Each structure stands twice: as structure tokens, then as C-alpha cells.
Amino acid sequence: MERLRAKQIQITVAPFALRYLRIGTSILNTPEEIAKVLRALADLR
């Protein structure tokens, strides 16, 4: 999560017993911003 925040990607943790990371998108996000997040997630592998 910290690596994504370092790339200025807003991310939160779901408040459930099994913790999932959540990335919220909206109609205000550009295709470039979505691509940036997807690349950052792929880099975590």
C-alpha cells in the first residue's frame, strides 16, 4: 500500500475481517489515470 501511495495513488483498506485494498474510481478519472493505477498494480507482482 505504501508503494502505491508513493506513486500518489489514493488507496484504502476495506474494514472487514479479510482486508482488501480498495481503489475508488469515478467518472472524473481520466483513462490515463486508470492506466497509471493498472500499471502500478502490475508492478507489484
Rounded distance, CA 21 to CA 12, Å?
6
pTM of the model: 0.70
Q: What is residue 23's predicted lDDT score, i.e. its pLDDT?
A: 87
User: Tell me: the pLDDT tens digits for 12-28?
Assistant: 989 999 988 888 878 88
- For residue 12, the surrounding DSSP H or E stretch is strand 12-13
Distance CA 1, CA 14 (A): 12
Residue 38 has pLDDT above 90, yes or no: yes
